[in-house]
Amino acid sequence: MENKFKIRHAILKSLHEKRSEGTSPNTIHVSEIARTWLELVETVDFSENKIVEQIKYLENQKDIYTQEEDYYIFYYAITDIGIASFYDQKYLDEGKKRSREKYHDIIRNWSVTILLILAILTFTINAYVTIKRNSEIENLESKLKIISNQINRK
C-alpha cells in the first residue's frame, strides 16, 4: 500500500484523538480540540513534506479544516466527515484496493507478455519443423526419382 493512504489515516487518527480529549461542554478554544502543526508532526510518524501534501488533500476532501489563530498559529481539526472516514478506514481501504488493482495490472501485463513469447516461440518451432520436414520430403522425392529412373532403365 502506498504511504499516502497510511499518512491520511494517521493524520485523521491523531486529530480524532485530540478532538476526543477536548469534547466537553466547556470547550472554549480551538486548541482544546485541534492540534498545532508541531503537535501534528510529533504524533504522525512521517516526514513533514509528506504530511503537508496529505493535509492539503484531506482539506479538499473536507475531512479536516485549518484554523489560524493569533500570531500565525495554525490549528488542524477533524470534521464530522473526517471522523466517519477514520472509523470507516476509508483511506486504508482505498489504499488496499489500489494495491490490488496495481498487482492485477502487473499480473495481467506479465501474462500477456508471456503468452506473446509462447506464441512467437511456437510459431518459430513450427516453422523450423515444417522446413525440416519439407527438406526430408524433397530428399525422399529425389531418392524416389533416382530409384524410379533406375527401374525404368532396366
- Total number of domains constituting the chain: 2
CB–CB of 40/14 below 8 Å?
Answer: yes
| pLDDT tens digit sequence for 21-37 | 866 666 567 778 888 88
| pLDDT tens digit sequence for 78-137 | 999 999 999 999 999 999 999 999 999 999 999 999 999 999 999 999 999 999 999 999
pLDDT at 154: 67
Q: Report yes or no on 94 lying in a domain.
A: no
Q: Report yes or no on 24 lying in a domain.
A: yes
Residue 13 confidence (pLDDT) above 90: yes
CB–CB of 76/15 below 8 Å?
Answer: yes
Share of the chain above pLDDT 90, in %: 66
Q: What distance in Å separates the CA atoms of residue 63 and residue 44, rounded to the nearest whole number?
A: 16
121 shares a domain with 47: no
Q: Which residues on neighbouring strands pair with residue 64, listed in sequence order? A: 78
Domain end among 37, 64, 88: 88
Domain end among 63, 88, 113: 88
144 shares a domain with 82: no
Domain end among 88, 117, 138: 88
81 shares a domain with 106: no
For residue 121, the enclosing domain spans: 102-154
83 shares a domain with 20: yes
The confidence band for 20, taking pLDDT boundaries of 50, 70 and 90, is confident
**Helices 3-21 and 80-88, interaxial angle, to 10°?**
120
73 shares a domain with 17: yes
Q: Report yes or no on 115 lying in a domain.
A: yes
pLDDT at 24: 63
21 shares a domain with 71: yes
127 shares a domain with 64: no
pLDDT at 32: 80
CB–CB of 86/78 below 8 Å?
Answer: yes
What is the CATH classification number for the domain harbouring 7?
A: 1.10.10.10
pTM for this predicted structure = 0.71
13 shares a domain with 56: yes
DSSP string, 105-150: HHHHHHHHHHHHHHHHHHHHHHHHHHHHHHHHHHHHHHHHHHHHHH
Q: Report yes or no on 134 lying in a domain.
A: yes
| pLDDT tens digit sequence for 42-84 | 999 899 999 999 999 999 999 999 988 877 888 999 999 999 9
